[in-house]
Amino acid sequence: MAPSEKCYPGYDGWFTAICNKVGIRSKIVQVYDSDSDLIQSIRSGLGIALLPDQIKNVPHENVIIRNITPPALFSSTIVWKRDNPSSGLKAYLQVVTKITTGKNAKERRSGHA
């Protein structure tokens, strides 16, 4: 079970890479266009899923969600309008740069945060 590429672009490639890394042959048997439908199907006993961490924000009564250790990383990007002079954007980019290139980022990648 997996979210659709419409909802999570790049998911199929990420999932396949994670499975290949640990020697598992992946097989997605059902794709869902909404997180809540996917969680409902899991709740109904139709399968399991490897999902990005933000799935915790979807109501999930009677479903167990566990963190993976070490975390399976998912690439992220920042998107903004070209030529945006906003001081808020500049401050945000500085914070993101600091946390992704500093000591904290190295600790998170090694699983020792």
Tell me the pLDDT tens digit for each residue of 9-20: 888 888 888 888
pLDDT of residue 33: 93
- Cβ–Cβ under 8 Å, residues 32 and 42: no
Among candidates 33, 63, 67, which has minimal Cα distance to 51?
67
A 10 A CB-CB count for 5 gives: 13
Domain count, the chain: 2
Residue 113 has pLDDT above 70, yes or no: no
- Residue 35 Rama label (left phi>0; alpha psi -120 to 50; beta): alpha
Strand segments (E) across the chain: 2-3, 31-32
Pair 74, 52: CB distance under 8 Å: yes
Structural domain contains residue 21: yes
Tell me whether residue 103 is in a domain.
yes
Question: For the segment 48-98, what is each residue's pLDDT rounded down to a tens digit?
Answer: 888 888 888 887 889 998 888 887 776 777 888 899 888 988 998 999 889
Q: Which domain holds residue 31?
A: 2-57
In a domain, 31, yes or no: yes
As a 3-state breakdown, the chain gives helix, strand, coil percent values, each rounded to 5, of: 40, 5, 55
Amino acid sitting at position 49: A
Let me know if residue 22 belongs to a domain.
yes
